[in-house]
Amino acid sequence: MGRKKAHRYDDVYNFPNVIKIFPGDDSISENMERLKQKISDFEDNIIIELGCGKGEYTLGLARRYPERFIIGIDIKSDRIWRGATNAIQEGLYNAFFARIRIESILDFFHENTVDEIWIPFPDPQSGESKANIKKRLTSEKFLEIYRKILKPGGSVHLKTDDDNLYHFSKESALNSGASLIYHTDDLYNNNFYNISDSCIEIQTTFEKKYLKKEKKIKYINFTFSDLSGNS
């Protein structure tokens, strides 16, 4: 680990808007209480970003929805450091970051407590091996977790430039009993009917790079409630 990364790794856990929750850690009880208190402060009005990286989407959502509690989740503490630093500098007190393994979020969020889940530009895990497929954040294994923590009517948003992940995610959602609220394989060449403004207005560094390369951005929004999907 480089010196800069090591410094960020050690420093980030002193931030008031960052927690680490790993089973077996001595501080897990204290950190869980901090998380519960923050959730209570916002009256359970929660949005989660999975694989938040430097927190660009978390920060964008926090700016747009100051009344909502936005939690960016990632496994890399040096990435979280950047997002948490920017949140503090901007005074975004509704933005929070957690170093949690996505596979274990059900251990830390009660059932039916999350309003929305955002997954902007995850690793598509392009290989077709069983190991790659299981790691995709829209695989049926993960969707079952999302189903449990989402409130009734809560939804999942996916943005990607990857064709395979886009088609895989639609199929996976339908196989899991989800209803497609909206999906498009070309987000910025569309009439934007029924699309969340957050999906259009907030762009990560990755997305901006893809757009410069004239790649088409795909978007899917689905819920586990019974709704009629749009093509």
Tell me the catalytic residues.
123
How is residue 195 written in tokens? Answer: 């699309």
CA 81/CA 91 separation, integer angstroms: 15
Q: Are 64 and 198 in contact (CB under 8 A)?
A: yes
- Give Cβ neighbours of residue 207 (< 8 Å, ≥ 6 apart): 120, 121, 159, 161, 217
Q: Are 214 and 170 in contact (CB under 8 A)?
A: no
Torsion-angle region of 53 (φ positive above 0: left; ψ -120 to 50: alpha; else: beta): left
Q: What is the dihedral of CA 136, 140, 146, 152, to 10 degrees?
A: 140
Q: Are 100 and 21 in contact (CB under 8 A)?
A: yes
Phi, psi torsion values for 50, nearest 5 degrees: -100, 135
In the DSSP assignment, the letter for residue 224 is: S
Bridge pairing between strands 46-50 and 18-20: unpaired
